[in-house]
Chain A
Amino acid sequence: MAIKFPSVEFFQELANRMQGNAAEFEKLGFCDTVMAVKVDGGDPHLYGLTFSCFDCTDVRELGGADELELDFTLVAPLALWREMFESIQKSGIPEPAYTLNSLSHVGDRMAVVYDDPEGHDKFYRFMATIQAFVNQASDLDIEWA
């Protein structure tokens, strides 16, 4: 059954798969950060993701960035999120141009928004886990909004 993107169900499914692939995420190590994904466009959505130890322990849609104490928010238009997930679905991992690092590096495609640089640096401290988390969508049947 297809899962709609963007939706809480989509990110919850990634969280479930993360838990199901415990060995992969235990190998990557502790990941302790509260981040958000913002899908920009005509109908914008903001999702809060709480990572603790080896799991994503909480997924929720946010009415505003102040509803959680966020370390950082990844912001991109719907079309770019779609390109990224479609790239991941080609071979299980993104093509070099579609890794979270490549997309966010200069900031003209995906923005990393933060209040405190310490929160910003958590993106880099835990990037390997967050990349593996989004890679969990590799064989997900996605219904695009």
Chain B
Amino acid sequence: MAYYARDDFFNNPEVLERSVEIFKGKLDIGWKNLDIERVKCRPSDPRRGLTFDDTNVGSYGWDQIPEKIRHNYSMAPRGAVQPPGLPHLGYDINRKSEVWADNAPALYEESKARHWIPTREVPWDAVEQLGHSDELERGLAQLCTDLTCMATALGDIPSKWVWHINQELLELKMFQCAQMFDAAQLADVFRKRAIAGGTGLGRDHAPLGELLKCVLDAGSFPCASASTHILLAGLMQVLLRHMGACSPNAADETIARFGVQDVSRSIAYGVEHMRSLLKERPHESTGLRGHLDEVENALVGYLASPMLFSALALVTAGGREKAAEAVPQVTALYRKFADEHLERREAAGIGSETSPLQAFVSELEA
């Protein structure tokens, strides 16, 4: 235990006396008299229910959060009265632009509204009647193994940062909790898909580990956000789209269709976060570009790994026989991903003229 409460409550006679008085019925209800803003909030659209947007009013809303939070280091929810003596809870991310994106509250509501249940909604029977070759299944199982690792990282990263973030930024923290749940569910469904197909999980491999370590080890939240939400979630999105497009199986199509919506919310947050951050602190762009280029270097290692490339070729071709002929299609997939990734970087304000990913795909195409 690293923190001891400032009072030894158990051995404090005043605490005991006060408790005895209360038990006798002498209630002190002075706490009810609050000098606090009273507002009325109603759902702007009854079918959506009472959303964060509806409660973005006055001192309860996020519009009034200052760029530098100096007034609340406690767990007090924004807008609550903060009496003297509240302990400092150790938050060390207290600058709004470091984490905030105006779309985070709506993305949180969207995440809840679009929640899906793979356990029941994936037509698992379809996996039992695969109708495709063992090689394709082996390729899909390897892809699902990689996606399981990525989804686990996608959950680990917000969990690494969320408790550092000031409680005033609560809608963002709740979005991060939704990201963690979405990621857990994705890791769960990819794992189950690989096992249910009969060939079992595939192998972990160093190039993927290198990539995920680069993302996990980002030294600041903005760097972690750029590499997680723009790069890693973007990679997962394109791999899922490919899996859904190539597999003739209804289970895979369902996993892909719902999986892309979960990772795409993270992408939307990441792009908006970068835009907000750079509007407030444009000088951060150099560090962010450098970080993303470095993570792209690890990404090149992963995309060039024989295991991923050959698994994608098997999935694309539908089997080993024509796998070599699928190489141009895998290269086209990489081109699509590289271009979409660069577009997102540019939209976020962290484009790159030295992108290792672009250079790598150009080399492949040459």
Contacts and interface: CB of A to CB of B under 8 A. Distances in A.
A120 B264 CA distance: 10
B98 interface: no
A: contact size bracket: 20 to 34
B264 A121 contact: yes
Contact of A125 (B244, B264, B332): B264
A30 B243 CA distance: 25
Interface stretch (B23-31, B201-209, B252-260, B283-291): B252-260
B247 interface: yes
A106 B332 CA distance: 8
Interface stretch (B12-20, B86-94, B108-116, B307-315): B108-116
A138 interface: no
- B interface majority secondary structure: helix
Nearest to B256: A101
Interface stretch (B63-71, B157-165, B266-274): B266-274
B247 A96 contact: yes
Contacts of B260: 101, 124-125, 127
A81 to B, nearest CB: 18
Contact of B347 (A53, A101, A116, A131): A116
Contact of B114 (A29, A96, A101, A131): A29
A99 interface: yes
Contacts of B261: 124-128
Given A30-B109, A125-B268, 7 more contacts: A29-B113, A53-B45, A101-B260, A106-B336, A125-B114, A125-B265, A131-B257
Interface of A: 26, 28-30, 32, 53-54, 96, 99, 101-102, 105-107, 116-118, 120-122, 124-128, 131
